[in-house]
């Protein structure tokens, strides 16, 4: 009998080890999507998983199937089938899963409003506990959704406004912390990215939760009605306000509308503001397939599987494919200076560099410096730091000179890179521009150690008969195959 138990124990141990190895193999081979690095780029799953989901995305949020009204439309009868589909897919692929959402005034069960306060509290408690028991290994949980805009009908049963003004939110997070002890708990709302006043009010709630150790991150939805027309300066202001809490930011429901060209321009201008902010740790888009998004013209892939220009650009910007005109890569080589200097510097200039609306070859702004021209005078606008141009054959940029000053026989311009441990030099060769002139520059990267770029930029040289002060501009710096 003991020997039999011993054999059984060995067999069970072997099975456990094999299961563990299989699980580890799934995680090891799970890289998916177009994003590289520590940040995720996710999307939603409805009732079925799109066949090309892992081609683009590496994080999963259920669109509706983990909302209370969808799970328990009939009291005491919970339907988890669609939620299980999304959760199991994420876990089998090693993708982070977010449970969305526990407490929300919209899509709550219709029957909850008719109960007594004590019954409401018991039902909400039961719902949160049931969700935690089934999906306790969720990486993230949207605990309270839209507290500023969609308060639940039962909020008075779970604390109401109370002494803090948001006692019902605090109670919800306390319950969620017990039900999901291993998950990062998030708050989520819309109307934040485009409204600094709403962001300030949001932070008041967040700080109440943070002081109690109840919140692990901040969700901002970023739907088209807040994103399409918001300014870059407002976006940066709001992100910095949220970042001052010390908590990570998660863009939770991003979508942007427009015809092909308008949507592309909006993504090019605004997505990098979100992605490159140091406090933003991940972005989830709210649908991507034509006919399967909640708002028209937000899709990135047509119903036939063709990628819209914004999707093509996203792939390039995040490092997932061959170059297209005016597109960038995850290496940081792409710069359009719409939201600032993009980390560029200048030397031997009177002023600058700065992002300027004086001129642009693409979008609305470029990088500007003012220089004093003289015979052989050298001036530079550049970006220093390690960069990787692997997979690309050319570096391109557009430059322009202002109408002021005496250009003489022409202002010399060239695109250059410094690479390798000895800072070897390669350039595009000289072109000249006259007052008000512009030109496109192309640097062939053949023979360059593309994995070890130390600096890249534009050099300007004054002609022998040049004099006076002028402004020079650089725009649309990108890699190309």
Give tens-digit pLDDT for 185-222.
999 999 999 999 999 999 999 999 999 999 999 999 99
Report, as an integer, the average pLDDT of 308-330.
Answer: 62
- Cβ–Cβ under 8 Å, residues 345 and 428: no
**63, 108, 139, 253: which one is catalytic?**
253
Report, as an integer, the average pLDDT of 59-67.
Answer: 98
pLDDT band at 363 (very low <50, low <70, confident <90, very high): confident
For residues 353 and 280, membership in a common domain is answered with: no
148 in any annotated domain? yes
For residues 428 and 310, membership in a common domain is answered with: no
Percent above pLDDT 90 for the chain: 75
75 in any annotated domain? yes
pLDDT band at 70 (very low <50, low <70, confident <90, very high): very high
Report, as an integer, the average pLDDT of 256-261.
Answer: 95
For residues 410 and 262, membership in a common domain is answered with: no
pLDDT-wise least confident of 297-306, 335-344, 440-449, 463-472: 335-344
pLDDT at 340: 84
User: Taking Cα atoms as reference points, which of 275, 213, 221 lies closest to residue 246?
Assistant: 213
For residues 208 and 82, membership in a common domain is answered with: yes
For residues 309 and 379, membership in a common domain is answered with: no
86 in any annotated domain? yes
For residues 190 and 220, membership in a common domain is answered with: yes
For residues 297 and 371, membership in a common domain is answered with: no
Long-range pairs, 120-123, Cβ under 8 A, ≥24: 120/154, 120/157, 120/158, 121/154, 121/157, 121/158, 123/75
pLDDT at 333: 57
* Domain residue limits at 460: 345-480
Burial class from Cβ neighbours inside 10 Å (0-12, 13-18, 19+) for residue 315 reads buried
22 in any annotated domain? yes
Is residue 464 scored above 60 in pLDDT?
A: yes
pLDDT band at 481 (very low <50, low <70, confident <90, very high): low
122 in any annotated domain? yes
For residues 172 and 263, membership in a common domain is answered with: yes
Report, as an integer, the average pLDDT of 380-404.
Answer: 89
For residues 244 and 122, membership in a common domain is answered with: yes
> Would strands 351-356 and 345-347 be described as parallel, antiparallel, or unpaired?
unpaired
For residues 20 and 86, membership in a common domain is answered with: no
Report, as an integer, the average pLDDT of 112-127.
Answer: 98
338 in any annotated domain? no
pLDDT band at 162 (very low <50, low <70, confident <90, very high): very high
Residues in Cβ contact with 8 at an 8 Å cutoff, skipping those fewer than 6 apart: none
How many domains is the chain built from?
3
Is residue 388 scored above 60 in pLDDT?
A: yes
Is residue 20 scored above 50 in pLDDT?
A: no
pLDDT band at 376 (very low <50, low <70, confident <90, very high): confident
pLDDT at 18: 42
Is residue 250 scored above 80 in pLDDT?
A: yes
334 in any annotated domain? no
328 in any annotated domain? no
For residues 308 and 183, membership in a common domain is answered with: yes
Backbone angles phi, psi at 10, to 5 degrees: -65, -45
Q: What count of residues does the chain have?
A: 481
Domain edge (last residue) among 317, 337, 367: 317
The larger pLDDT score, comparing residue 319 to residue 387, is at 387
For residues 394 and 474, membership in a common domain is answered with: yes
Report, as an integer, the average pLDDT of 41-53.
Answer: 96
User: Taking Cα atoms as reference points, which of 407, 435, 455, 64 lies closest to residue 443?
Assistant: 455
pLDDT at 332: 41
Instruction: Provide the whole-model pTM.
Output: 0.65
pLDDT band at 290 (very low <50, low <70, confident <90, very high): very high
pLDDT at 196: 97
Is residue 331 scored above 60 in pLDDT?
A: no
Is residue 419 scored above 90 in pLDDT?
A: yes
pLDDT band at 72 (very low <50, low <70, confident <90, very high): very high
257: CATH: 3.20.20.80
Q: What is the 3-state secondary structure (H, E, C) of the chain?
A: CHHHHHHHHHHHHHHHHHHHHHHHHHHHCCCCCCCCCCCEEEEEECCCCCCCHHHHCCCEEECCCCCHHHHCCECCECCCHHHHHHHHHHHHHCCCEEEEEEECCCCCCCCHHHCCHHHHHHHHHHHHHHHHHHCCCCCEEEEEECCCCCCCCCHHHHCCCCCCCCHHHHHHHHHHHHHCCCCEEEEEECCCCCCHHHHHHHHHHHHHHHHCCCCCEEEECCCHHHHCCCCHHHHHHHHHHHHCCCCCEEEEEECCCCCHHHHHHHHHHHHHHHHCCCCEEEEEECCCECCCCCCCCCCCECCCCCECHHHHHHHHHCCCCCCCCCCCCCCCCCECCCCCCCCCEEECCCEEEEEECCCCCCCCCEEEEEEECCCCCEEEEEEEEEECCCCCCEEEEEEEECCCCECCCCEEEEEEEEECCCCEEEECCCEEECCCCEEEEEEECCCCCCCCEEEEEEEEECCCCCECEEEEEEEEEEEEC
Q: Is 253 a catalytic residue?
A: yes
Mean pLDDT for the chain overall: 89
Is residue 17 scored above 80 in pLDDT?
A: no
């Amino acid at each position: 009998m003991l020997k039999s138990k011993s054999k059984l124990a060995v067999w069970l141990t072997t099975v456990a080890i094999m299961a563990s190895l299989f699980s580890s193999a799934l995680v090891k081979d799970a890289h998916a999507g177009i994003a590289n690095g520590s940040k995720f780029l996710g999307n939603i799953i409805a009732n079925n998983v799109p066949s090309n989901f892992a081609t683009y995305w590496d994080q999963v949020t259920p669109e509706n199937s983990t909302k209370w009204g969808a799970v328990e439309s009939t009291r005491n009868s919970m339907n988890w089938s669609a939620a299980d589909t999304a959760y199991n897919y994420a876990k089998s692929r090693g993708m982070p899963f977010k449970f969305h959402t526990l407490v929300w005034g919209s899509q709550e069960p219709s029957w909850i409003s008719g109960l007594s306060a004590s019954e409401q509290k018991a039902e909400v408690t039961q719902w949160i506990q049931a969700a935690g028991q089934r999906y306790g290994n969720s990486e993230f949980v949207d605990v309270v959704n839209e507290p500023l805009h969609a308060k639940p009908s039962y909020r008075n049963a779970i604390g109401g406004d109370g002494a803090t003004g948001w006692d019902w939110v605090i109670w919800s997070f306390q319950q969620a912390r017990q039900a999901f002890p291993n998950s990062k708990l998030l708050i989520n709302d819309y109307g934040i990215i485009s409204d600094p006043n709403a962001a300030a009010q949001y932070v008041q709630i967040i700080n109440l939760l943070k002081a109690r150790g109840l919140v692990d991150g901040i969700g901002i939805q970023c739907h088209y009605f807040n994103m399409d027309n918001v300014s870059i300066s407002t976006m940066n202001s709001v992100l910095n306000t949220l970042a001052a809490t010390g908590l990570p930011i998660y863009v939770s429901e991003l979508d942007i509308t427009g015809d092909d060209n308008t949507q592309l321009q909006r993504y090019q201008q605004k997505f990098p503001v979100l992605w490159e902010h140091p406090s933003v740790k991940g972005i989830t888009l709210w649908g991507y397939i034509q006919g399967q998004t909640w708002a028209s013209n937000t899709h990135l892939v047509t119903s036939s599987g063709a990628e819209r220009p914004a999707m093509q650009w996203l792939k390039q910007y995040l490092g997932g494919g061959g170059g297209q005109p005016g597109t960038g890569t995850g290496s940081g080589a792409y710069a359009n200076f719409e939201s600032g200097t993009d980390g560029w510097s200048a030397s031997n200039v009177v002023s600058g560099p700065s992002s300027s609306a004086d001129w642009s070859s693409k979008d609305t702004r470029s990088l500007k410096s003012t220089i004093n021209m003289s015979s052989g005078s050298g001036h530079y606008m550049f970006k220093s730091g390690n960069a990787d141009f692997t997979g690309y054959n050319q570096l391109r940029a557009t430059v322009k000179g202002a109408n002021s000053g005496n250009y003489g026989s022409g202002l010399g311009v060239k695109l250059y890179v410094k690479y390798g441990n000895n800072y070897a030099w390669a350039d595009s060769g000289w072109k000249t521009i006259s007052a008000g002139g512009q030109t496109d520059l192309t640097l062939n990267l053949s023979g360059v150690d593309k994995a070890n770029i130390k600096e890249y930029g534009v050099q300007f040289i004054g002609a022998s008969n040049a004099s006076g002060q002028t402004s020079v501009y650089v725009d649309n710096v990108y890699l190309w195959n």
